[in-house]
Structure 1
């Protein structure tokens, strides 16, 4: 049986006193209000879907940079969960913040520059105040998830020129516009990142649905992505529970949409690549 890793899940606690709300943008995301999932419920959903491991990504639209609930999830089930934290990389104490969450057992950093509570693309991605955090992440091989849009790719290219050995994982493939279909001219900024081997793609169910819009089809788009980036740079994530649907259904949707790809590529996308990005998954 293939080892399956879900690289993009979120957890929401019922206890708002122990885990107070502090959403980025000032208001909580609708999905987290309508369908919150505790880490215990996530674990049950993983068992139902036969998913071996999950990366729990900080729910910035609920807790901002307080990663306490992600820490508690990982510490409760280190054999099933690894965690990605958020911090204010523009702050003077960004390194101290990073060390705090790494010492607590988390494995990666997430930078949140856009989302349901922050529409548009924030302009601070390549702000020089963030350089110490990027340098620290590069030196210690800490993967950086980027929640961004394609409009942020020029700023990312600036950072890749300055920190060429950094490993970044683009949430939702940086949300490319795919409705025009082949040859995907509107997605040219995404494909401009092929030349940077430290850039990995987090292929989520959000991306799958975008690839089905307009003149695009999942078969056409994902075959192009595979040909350009290679399976060793692509990892699947459900975006559960931000994505509507049960976790078994989201995994089934992903497998169906990617079924045109070769078996070895699927093994990498659904597990192998994640284990190279997050070495803690190998434990």
Structure 2
């Protein structure tokens, strides 16, 4: 039997309806987990999502079945912007959720949007940099540390927000390690989370160039104001449970940055196509015997409480 550990899901999605865009075109809800992406019908969510959405009520049921007490609600451009919906979820359930704000970095009203939605429970900015899912697919010349972003980063600093960055896989346009480094260095009081543990997909597992690039990104986690998110690692690796490769990568990350700099998240519901929610939790809770009970608690609960102020306002 595993020791009882409180759990926070620090990377999960609620989706009132899919209404987004990416480099393939518009993305809108279809049926039974599929979405219309550009000219194609693409499986994305579990087939049990009959209307290809994932409302907060579905997340509640998932969390309660697995003993997950709190969650951080994320967005990305492919699924669509739902600042109003996430803000409403955090206001209705302040003891369960904090939320992430999404802006189009090239929207002239981006800074106004941040100020409009920021609250004690809605207190993090997400930058989806990935080419397939995010801003570099829409704006191939976009750089996270460019002068055009100065107003946004000043607003983040003024409001004291946390920042989540999803880089996409090594080699894609969003994997701007040098830009992340520069941004993190000039904003030492801002807490950053780099998602997906360096984002290593199955087809790059033996790619020495990709692995070297990923190592450079992971080393940013040694900075005082940077944490590494663990969401979707089993799914990206396309590894069947109990996921020994995930355990190996987790052990390496603990050796590199320490358990106090790692934060678990599920990236549900997309990840539920390959793994159950319980399996995603158990990759840390039950299947990483090299972790002490204290380290597991840090990864599954304490570190998220340290980073996300909105989890402490109930």
Could you state the TM-score of these two structures normalised by the residue count of structure 2? 0.76
Q: Which has a greater percent of strand?
A: 2
Give the equivalent residue in structure 2 for 1:179. Answer: 205
Give the equivalent residue in structure 1 for 2:61. Answer: 44
Which deviates more, 204-213 or 65-74?
Answer: 204-213
Equivalent of 1:160, from 161, 184, 187?
184
**Cα contact 2:121–2:310 (8 A) shared by 1:** no
Unaligned runs of 5+ residues in structure 2 are: 28-34, 36-42
Task: Calculate the aligned-residue CA RMSD, in Å.
Answer: 2.9
Equivalent of 1:234, from 262, 267, 272?
262
**Cα contact 1:9–1:237 (8 A) shared by 2:** yes
Per-residue CA shift, 1:174-207, capped at 9, x if unaligned? 314662399x545321233144221111111335
Deviation at 1:212, TM superposition (A): 5.7
**What is the rounded CA distance, in whole Å, between the counterparts of 2:120 and 2:84 in structure 1?**
9
**What is the rounded CA distance, in whole Å, between the counterparts of 2:133 and 2:207 in structure 1?**
28
Which deviates more, 110-119 or 75-84?
Answer: 110-119
Give the equivalent residue in structure 1 for 2:44. Answer: 31
Give the equivalent residue in structure 1 for 2:30. Answer: none
Deviation at 1:169, TM superposition (A): 0.7
Q: 1:127 to 1:107 in 2, by over 3 A?
A: same
Give the equivalent residue in structure 1 for 2:40. Answer: none
**Cα contact 1:11–1:59 (8 A) shared by 2:** no
* 1:112 partnered with 2:112: no
Give the equivalent residue in structure 2 for 1:251. Answer: 281
Give the equivalent residue in structure 1 for 2:167. Answer: 148
Could you state the TM-score of these two structures normalised by the residue count of structure 1? 0.84
Residue correspondences, number: 274
Deviation at 1:32, TM superposition (A): 4.1
Q: 1:143 to 1:37 in 2, by over 3 A?
A: same
Q: 1:250 to 1:195 in 2, by over 3 A?
A: closer
Per-residue CA shift, 1:108-160, capped at 9, x if unaligned? 11011116445977532122111122122234331111111342211111212
**Cα contact 1:211–1:221 (8 A) shared by 2:** no
Give the equivalent residue in structure 2 for 1:21. Answer: 19
* 1:271 partnered with 2:301: yes
Partner SS, residue 68 of structure 2: coil
**Cα contact 2:76–2:133 (8 A) shared by 1:** no
**What is the rounded CA distance, in whole Å, between the counterparts of 1:253 and 1:212 in structure 2?**
11
